């Protein structure tokens, strides 16, 4: 076997096509690297500036004070008041989707997040039958703390 028969028999055209493809792909990658090299060089020349910016950004994250997420936060007290009224209107036991839908209709913002926080602090508790109940004792304790804080603030502001 000689000539084209040997090339066809040993799949020479396939290997040639594969070789051309590899070379072309390598040249494309090289061209992309060369075309973007100026950006890398610019970053390298100004690296001190970018290190300073990154340091300020990281220190900004460390110095932020977290917002109170515990059961003592004022937002949670207000949410407890609002949802306690909704639960009284809906009746117990209630379903969470219906509670969230009702909250959204009445204009309570971020109803899903608020319900999640109320579950986390045990103001909304499951009844093991697929529904939920309002924990009146926990709500009263939370609202009582709010009333005590309000009275204390009024006492401190009195002339």
Q: In the chain, what are the domain boundaries?
A: 6-63, 74-157
Rounded distance between C-alpha atoms, residue 59 and residue 41, angstroms: 27
Q: How confident is the model at residue 71 (pLDDT cuts 50, 70, 90)?
A: very low
Task: Identify the pLDDT of residue 7.
Answer: 83
Q: What local confidence, expressed as pLDDT, does residue 149 receive?
A: 55
Q: What pLDDT, on the 0 to 100 scale, is given for residue 148? A: 60
Tokens of 39: 């950006």
Burial of residue 139 (CB within 10 Å: 0-12, 13-18, 19+) is buried
Give the pLDDT score at 154.
Answer: 47
Residue 44, pLDDT above cutoff 80 = yes
**7 vs 24, more confident:** 24
Q: What is the pLDDT of residue 153?
A: 47
Fold of 74-157: Arc Repressor Mutant, subunit A (1.10.10)
**Cα–Cα nearest to 103, from 90, 121, 117:** 90
Q: Higher-confidence residue: 25 or 59?
A: 25
Q: Which tens digits make up the pLDDT trace of 104-114?
A: 888 888 888 88
Mean pLDDT, range 25-39, rounded to an integer: 95
> Does the pLDDT at position 22 exceed 70?
yes
Distance between CA atoms of residues 128 and 145, nearest Å: 30
Query: Given this model, what pLDDT does residue 63 score?
Result: 52
């Amino acid at each position: 076997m000689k000539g084209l028969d040997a090339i066809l028999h040993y799949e020479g055209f396939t290997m040639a096509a594969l070789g051309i493809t590899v070379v072309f792909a390598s040249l494309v990658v090289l061209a992309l690297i060369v075309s973007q090299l100026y950006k890398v060089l610019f970053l390298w020349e100004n690296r001190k500036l970018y290190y300073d910016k990154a340091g300020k950004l990281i220190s900004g994250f460390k110095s932020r004070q977290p917002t109170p997420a515990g059961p003592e936060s004022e937002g949670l007290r207000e949410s407890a008041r609002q949802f306690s009224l909704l639960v009284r209107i809906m009746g117990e036991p209630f379903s969470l989707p219906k509670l969230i839908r009702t909250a959204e209709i009445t204009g309570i913002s971020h109803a899903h997040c608020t319900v999640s926080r109320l579950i986390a602090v045990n103001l909304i508790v499951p009844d093991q039958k697929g529904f939920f109940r309002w924990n009146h004792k926990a709500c009263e304790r939370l609202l009582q703390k709010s009333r005590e804080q309000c009275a204390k603030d009024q006492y401190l502001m009195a002339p």
